[in-house]
Amino acid sequence: MKYLARIILRLAGWKIDQQAPEGLKKCVIAVGPHTSNWDFVLGRLAFYMYGIKPKILIKKELFFPPLGWILKAVGGIPVDRKKNNRLTDYAVELFNSSETMYMVFTPEGTRSYNPNWKKGFYHIAKRANVPIYICYMDYERKIGGFHSPFYAGDDAEKDIAYIKSVMGQYKGKYPEKGVY
């Protein structure tokens, strides 16, 4: 899959940064800007290229046959967003019980413009004591990859503002939906 993913991305005109996190066995991956369903496809191809098996939290409504089978096969975890299901606790337990774990989040929580990001990714990283790796996709230049690791501090608002400033350098497929 690694080579097939590289070929597909190249044919689509995308250049994915070759540098993946080395020596890092666990992290929360925050990807942005998230403005299109194509983000999932391109991102998953990039993870194949890197040889990373991510876990991706996806709304449970999409887990119907045959799509649900495919989503689970590529690392999807169904999430019921309508009720309090202790998702943060569950994610931290997954990190604590796994030798290797890359859990992917789109902090906007939607493909529409949302200045008020979901903070679960931040709290999961902090409680699991793992870095947040900032990843990007830029449709304007057709580039993507791992930008930089970031460790959650004591000021969530300041930290999230920093992550937004990094992701704000890049343009989503629909830039008006991913303004930071």
pTM of the model: 0.91
Buried b (16+ CB within 10 A) or exposed e, 11-39: eeebebeeebbeeeebbbbbbbbbbbeeb
Supply the range of the domain harboring residue 128.
Answer: 29-34+58-175
Would residue 147 count as lying in a domain? yes
Would residue 1 count as lying in a domain? no
121-177 residue pLDDT tens: 999 999 999 999 999 999 999 999 999 999 999 999 999 999 999 999 999 999 888
75-84 residue pLDDT tens: 999 988 777 7
Would residue 102 count as lying in a domain? yes
Dist. CA 142–CA 178, nearest whole Å: 16
* Residue 180 CB neighbours (<10 A): 17
Would residue 48 count as lying in a domain? no
Would residue 108 count as lying in a domain? yes
Would residue 83 count as lying in a domain? yes
95-130 residue pLDDT tens: 999 999 999 999 887 777 777 888 899 999 999 999
Peptide bond into 78 cis (omega under 30): no
22-54 residue pLDDT tens: 889 999 999 999 999 899 999 999 999 999 999
In the chain, how many domains are there?
1
Would residue 135 count as lying in a domain? yes
Dist. CA 20–CA 52, nearest whole Å: 9
pLDDT, position 25: 94
